[in-house]
Structure 1
Amino acid sequence: MSRLLRLFTLCLVFIGSLASAQAPLRVGSTPSGIPFTFLDTKTNKISGVMVDLISEIGKDQGFAVEINAMAWGSLIAALQGNKIDVIAAAMYITPPRQEVVDFSDPIYTYGEGLFVAASDAKDYKTYEDLKGEVVGVQIGTAYVKPLQASGLFKEVKVYDSISDIMRDVNLGRIKAGFGDYPIVAYQLGQGAFPETRLVKGYKSVWVGSVGIAVRKGDKATIDKINAALRKFKADGTIDRVLARWNLK
């Protein structure tokens, strides 16, 4: 009888471990970070560079992914609270973030872009050219603290999305906005805000690389992600995904 009980217990453990292994990886992404992550209104699903990459990683490493749309500012809290397992968004790898999450190898490097009203013809080069002005920046980005710490601006307004900043630039509520260069360039390139222009001559102050984040200490997951990324870097998969979204 005891032998049968042991066998039954082993079967339950095996079935439980199999179910756990097949559980999808819960991925947190944002609906407003085009082309990295965004809500595709045609499919009503989150799409973009980082979604494509985490999906390819899942195929390569043998796990399913479940994409969860959430606000940018809640991503790290959701990861720490075990509501998601991975962050796949336009998130810079920064020392403060590395204290609370673990990042993959760098995927794509860029800096912040500056945008103003199309009617503003001035060729802004640096922060100093906007001294005394009111500017906008997206909450949770790596640009917030440097802008505030510069002491150059009359006010640094913090917004939920880049689209909200562009709206206020168009309405004249703020002089300029700062955001991830590829995201700003893509949105303006789609013609969504024809009264806003990207300042081509502006020199980025903060340049960093985006990566995929997991909970601190989740070595098993980050090892799988990095193994796939290194393979994709060698075989050109990353370059093909970036090119699909007009990133070089």
Structure 2
Amino acid sequence: MKRKSHLLVSMIALLGLAGIVNGCSSKEAANGTEEKVILVGTQNDYPPFAFADEKNELTGYDIEVVKEIDKKLDGYTFEFVATPWDSMFLALESNKIHAIADQVAKTPERQKKYLFTDESYFAAETVIVVKEGRTDIATLEDLEGKKVGALAGDSYTLLLEEHNKKADKDIILKYSESGNPSEILQDVQNGRVDAYVNDPIMISSVMEKFDLDLEVVGQPLVNDDMGIVFKNEKQGEELKAIIDPILNQLKEDGTLAKLSKKWTGGEYIPD
């Protein structure tokens, strides 16, 4: 079995690596063979899926899924690049990273522009979170005229932007300058915004970490399947072709379910 993937907790200034092969750099493995290096973009502040631990090393569900893929894929080494969400797709398009593993929902708009693995590795919900005790918000319609925290370009914000296109009264979107979901949840706590829309597992993790008095309200707005993302070109097609069968294997042998339970407390694996 091949060695573990390397971990790079750095911003996107990495492609000075030598020996470019089909757009990927290469390095010598322990056995003397050359391996293509696949740079995987992910956030460092999205627990429990992708975040920096107390040693400033990336960890979480998405990270471990990629590491499991790396173990089974000879000839390649996967390295992680901590990337802000608002720079993620730009980094992919400019070849600073070769893939994204960051709880990216397979929306129709994204699938027109990028390649996704056919196999989804996580099934996520979209919910509304408000300050504990608030009773005037439970649905998207209840958010109209209210201030809602947002990250530009994520699927949760796209849902709100689409709602505004047909609503009589807009949801007032307050886009985060930091690109940090944890800070938006703290803004809900201190009243800077009325609500936030995101994944309940991440919300619960941040609430516990920062001791926030928040609560999820109403029913889930959307259910999404998450996939690994590649640039829509030859290299992306090649990576998709070799990773999809491994994701299927990890699903069939129970590895994804085990990792999901470890990091989220439940088995949120698509059928």
TM-score normalised over the length of structure 2: 0.77
- Deviation string 1:171-225 (CA, Å, 9 cap, x unpaired) is 212111111222112222x241423x122x4222232111111121322211111
Contact 2:127 2:221 in 1 (8 A): no
2:36 to 2, 8, 23: 23
Structure number with higher strand proportion: 2
Two-structure CA RMSD over aligned residues (Å): 2.3
- Tell me, in whole angstroms, the C-alpha distance in 2 between the residues paired with 1:76 and 1:130: 28
Q: Which runs of 5+ in 1 are unaligned?
A: 1-15
- Deviation string 1:87-141 (CA, Å, 9 cap, x unpaired) is 11111111211122211121111221211112x3417431123332211122221
SS at match of 1:213: strand
2:59 to 14, 26, 47: 47
1:233 aligns to what?
A: 251
SS at match of 2:174: strand
State the aligned residue count. Answer: 229
TM-score normalised over the length of structure 1: 0.84
2:87 aligns to what?
A: 74
Contact 2:26 2:37 in 1 (8 A): no
- Tell me, in whole angstroms, the C-alpha distance in 1 between the residues paired with 2:35 and 2:104: 27
1:178 aligns to what?
A: 197
Distance change (3 Å), C-alpha of 1:21 and 1:92? farther
Q: Residues 82-121 of structure 1: matches in 2 within 5 Å? A: 82-104=95-117, 105-118=119-132, 120-121=133-134
| Counterpart residue type for residue 102 of structure 1 | L
Contact 1:28 1:86 in 2 (8 A): yes
2:7 aligns to what?
A: none
State yes or no: 1:202 paired with 2:218: yes
| Counterpart residue type for residue 214 of structure 1 | F
Q: Identity percentage over the alignment? A: 26
SS at match of 2:96: coil
- Tell me, in whole angstroms, the C-alpha distance in 2 between the residues paired with 1:170 and 1:59: 41
2:232 to 213, 216, 227: 216
Q: Which runs of 5+ in 2 are unaligned?
A: 1-24
